[in-house]
Structure 1
Amino acid sequence: MIEVLRIGQRLVRDDRVTTHVALVSRAFGASRIYMNEVNPEIKETIYKVNKTWGGKFKIEFIEDWRKLLKSKKKESVKIVHLTMYGEGINHIQKKLADEKEILIVVGAEKVPREVYDYADYNVAVGNQPHSEISALAIVLDRIQQGRQFDVKYDNARLEIIPSEKGKNVRDKSD
């Protein structure tokens, strides 16, 4: 079980980024994302994607991320905080892949110091400024070692048929 926590959002600018954090979480195998209710349209967008492409990915709006982190710690869920200042993914990916339950914390603005303390792993994807979206995708892929891309959803309306050239999409509702 892998879940994602999105902490914070810079108004207006981050609607699209937060939507992409949710889309990557879904596409790369997480089961749920927690976030502040900043824009209810994000939830609608993801549920439309679920309806079209399948899956049961959930968005849960929360009031207090600290309360969520405390609760997850009590449940022995491993907290993975994405930060440029953490241990390099190349050195820690095996440990992460061995964990059974993970909550990945993805910040927007400056993340409070206490997140570093809550985390079981502070993980860096490189040591240069980069997108939290790309870092999340890389970490999710390294944890699951590509297995998330073999998943087929029975409840998908549309299905992409791999093709060397062109687009091949099957509408399963026909």
Structure 2
Amino acid sequence: MRKVGFDGGHTVYELGPVSDVVLFFECLDVFVVNTCVDQDWSLLSDRLYKRYLRQDELEESFILMEKAKSIFFTLPSSSVAWDEDMQADRDRTWLDSRVDTLGTVFSRYFDLFSKAKNSAVSFLDEFGIYQPLRILASDMPALMVEKKRPLNEYDALGLDDLPFWLR
């Protein structure tokens, strides 16, 4: 199965199989976006999921991700209907449903998001160039193709278009 990761600055932080990342965003939608309706989550649910984060969106998206993380840590991992057959197959999932909370299930995602954000800031500070934080296919040669994709192609995605990492 194809793998994806957070790309920020000079590094791609591999998250795992596409299906795991889809599940993360489904959990974000169900347990965070749809329950905390007084907060605008579009930086995560649209910009990060489908497009990329602009430089001026990094701090606010980090704050939102930390809020999502705290919510995930209040939810038992049993909040998700897990396919137990998948759990034994590392090619199909890197997630461990046997841990206590969804926060623990997705703890790597929160950590790697922070690292990708810091990498994007570091690259900007070092070279004066902002390399946007986004989700990319992390397998070769797809990674090389995606790294060269112009940002205007992301900007042109419509409401019903799939993110490039899901195609």
- Which structure would you say has the larger Rg? 1
The two structures have a TM-score, normalised by structure 1, of 0.30
What TM-score comes out, normalization by structure 2 length? 0.31
Which structure's residues are more often helix, by fraction?
Answer: 2
RCO higher in structure (CA 8 A, sep ≥6): 2
Greater strand proportion:
1
